[in-house]
């Protein structure tokens, strides 16, 4: 089972339409690898309702770059990080543009909801804002 992490804590996955690969032109939800070339995808962003970006390891930060690039390119749909994202990385995920993080039961047991909620006020804990303030 998977658990969704949002700013209000743990929840159940409510997405039921599945995910396709980038090669499927009529898809409304895509599953992206961290090394995906976004250039061919950019003209389709307006047709996509959900993009899920895979994190194969917690030390692999390419997914954060993909999220930022998608948001800068104008993607306004639902953006989900999936895989090995840690509670300590939640604020970074949100600042990069992710709406939610999908984790498995094992990670949720090791890092309970309280640890994720401690980082849920991600906008207030932005060091750049504090430096400018």
Read off the pLDDT of residues 73-114 as tens digits, 9 standing for 90 and up: 999 999 999 999 999 999 999 999 999 999 999 999 999 999
Mean pLDDT of 33-39: 95
Residues paired with 31 in a beta bridge? 52
Strands (E), 1-133: 2-6, 9-12, 29-32, 50-55, 78-83, 100-104
pLDDT one-digit tens code per residue, 14-24: 999 999 999 99
Q: What pLDDT is stored for residue 58 in this prediction?
A: 86
- Cβ neighbours, 10 Å, residue 114: 9
Q: What pLDDT is stored for residue 131 in this prediction?
A: 64
Work out the widest C-alpha separation in the chain, in whole angstroms. 46
Dist CA 27 CA 70 (whole Å): 17
Helix then strand then coil, % of the chain, to nearest 5: 35, 25, 40
């Amino acid at each position: 089972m998977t658990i969704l992490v949002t700013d209000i804590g743990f929840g159940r996955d409510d997405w039921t339409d599945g995910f396709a690969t980038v090669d499927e032109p009529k898809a409304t939800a895509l599953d992206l690898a961290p090394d995906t070339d976004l250039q061919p995808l950019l003209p389709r962003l307006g047709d996509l309702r959900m993009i899920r970006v895979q994190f194969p390891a917690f030390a692999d930060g390419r997914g954060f770059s993909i999220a930022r690039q998608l948001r800068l390119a104008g993607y306004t749909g639902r953006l989900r990080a999936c895989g090995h994202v840690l509670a300590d990385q939640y604020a970074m995920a949100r600042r990069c543009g992710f709406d939610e993080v999908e984790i498995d039961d094992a990670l949720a047991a090791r890092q309970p909801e309280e640890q994720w909620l401690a980082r849920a006020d991600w906008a207030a804990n932005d060091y750049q804002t504090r430096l400018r303030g």
